[in-house]
């Protein structure tokens, strides 16, 4: 294994503002935030700071029963929708995974998609189309990795599962989200008024989200808190 220098400049790109807030207690990190395609510019800004490694962090969706809400996954390969794939950095995987040896970390392949995927049927279609090579999806990792490869900077992705096969993000919620991934409260309220039974789905969503959020915060604490 290659020996790493002592003071590593770590760049992190997240998709959502609420994911970024979980990193505010770590001032040494170089952090960017960009939802979906906006991750390109966020990544370029982070890379301009001469980082030694760049990480894609945040929530992801599962395509298989083997990976559930709250699970932590360090993807081995990152696929894009065009079908191409690239491996993540082995050297830095070993470095970060050593810090997490007391946690259960899964190693599966990830596909970056261009939109939020709804429903078990659509997820299963992707799973079968990819010949079961891919177990989770997000909207940023392949975009971030592409920029890292251009500048020859090692790349890693670490994802906490939010929606799994047993639970999917309700469409009325995604219809209430703007292009930056932020919730538009007015639209959400109108969607709930139209169909009050959606409140039950919203409660389930919040319970699942809070569980995933706690896992993500714990992941950050284990990785970036100085001993």
Ranges of each domain in the chain: 10-166+212-224
pLDDT at res. 207: 95
The whole-number pLDDT of residue 206 equals 93
Q: Would strands 10-14 and 53-62 be described as parallel, antiparallel, or unpaired?
A: parallel
Whole-angstrom distance, CA of residue 198 vs CA of residue 60: 23
Phi and psi at 225, nearest 5°, equal -75, 125
CATH architecture of 10-166+212-224: 3-Layer(aba) Sandwich (3.40)
Angle between helices 90-99 and 198-224 (to 10 degrees): 100
Query: For position 2, what pLDDT does the model report?
Result: 43
pLDDT tens for the chain, residues 1 to 227:
344 456 889 999 999 999 999 999 999 999 999 999 999 999 999 999 999 999 999 999 999 999 999 999 999 999 998 888 999 988 888 889 989 999 999 999 999 999 888 788 889 889 988 888 999 999 999 999 999 999 999 999 999 999 999 888 888 998 898 888 888 999 999 999 999 999 999 999 999 999 999 999 999 999 998 76
Environment class of residue 11 by beta-carbon count within 10 Å: exposed (0-12), middle (13-18) or buried (19+)? buried
């Amino acid at each position: 294994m290659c020996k790493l220098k002592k003071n590593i400049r770590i760049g992190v790109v997240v998709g959502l503002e609420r994911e970024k807030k979980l990193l505010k207690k770590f001032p040494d990190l170089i952090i960017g935030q960009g939802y979906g395609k906006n991750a390109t510019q966020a990544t370029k800004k982070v890379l301009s700071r001469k980082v030694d490694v760049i990480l894609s962090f945040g929530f992801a969706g599962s395509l298989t029963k083997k990976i559930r809400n709250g699970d932590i996954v360090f993807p081995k390969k990152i696929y894009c929708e065009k079908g191409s794939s690239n491996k993540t950095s082995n050297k830095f995987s070993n470095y970060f995974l050593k810090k997490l040896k007391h946690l259960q970390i899964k190693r599966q392949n990830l596909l970056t998609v261009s939109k939020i995927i709804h429903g078990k049927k659509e997820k299963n279609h992707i799973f079968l189309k990819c010949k079961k090579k891919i177990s989770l999806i997000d909207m940023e990792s392949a975009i971030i990795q592409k920029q890292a490869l251009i500048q020859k900077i090692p790349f890693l992705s670490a994802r906490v599962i939010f929606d799994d096969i047993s639970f999917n993000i309700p469409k009325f919620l995604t219809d209430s989200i703007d292009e930056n991934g932020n919730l538009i409260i007015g639209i959400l309220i109108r969607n709930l008024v139209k169909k009050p039974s959606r409140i039950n789905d919203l409660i389930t969503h919040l319970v699942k989200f809070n569980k995933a959020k706690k896992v993500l915060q714990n992941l950050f604490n284990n990785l970036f808190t100085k001993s």
